[in-house]
A = this chain, B = another copy of it.
């Protein structure tokens, strides 16, 4: 599992890490029930502080993406947060992106193509990067 974080980004490290892990779960690189790397292990691998990684794990736990099993450590939840439940939040975020796309001149059709492409690229990315040519509208 390859995780990249950008020390220069204005997005907090723990959030970057959280996002990367969400992507990994969605991509099937981390299957339900599968164990995540230990806090220390991942911290060492990424060169960040253990507490930063722990904060990411805590956030993922609070959001229902992972659970901490007392015997096995942190594992991917088998009962992920329902998309229906998060719908309101999802909609607000999507609305903002749609607005920016609309201002940028993207028609609804183009925007939906982009959305479809993103959905596909997420759920079907086993490992390798690249391949698709985004924004080839």
Indicate whether A135 reaches chain B with its CB closer than 8 angstroms: yes
How many A residues face the partner with a CB closer than 8 A? 62
Which of B71, B96, B134 is in CB contact (< 8 Å) with A87?
Answer: B134
Chain A 19-50 per-residue mask, 1 if CB under 8 angstroms from chain B, else 0: 10011011100000000000000000000100
How would you classify the secondary structure of chain A's contact residues: helix, strand, loop or mixed?
Answer: helix
Q: Which residue of B lies closest to A62 (CB)?
A: B62
Indicate whether A126 reaches chain B with its CB closer than 8 angstroms: no
Residues of chain A having any CB pair with chain B under 8 Å: 7-9, 12-13, 19, 22-23, 25-27, 48, 62, 65, 67-72, 80-88, 90-91, 93-106, 108, 110-112, 114-123, 134-135, 137
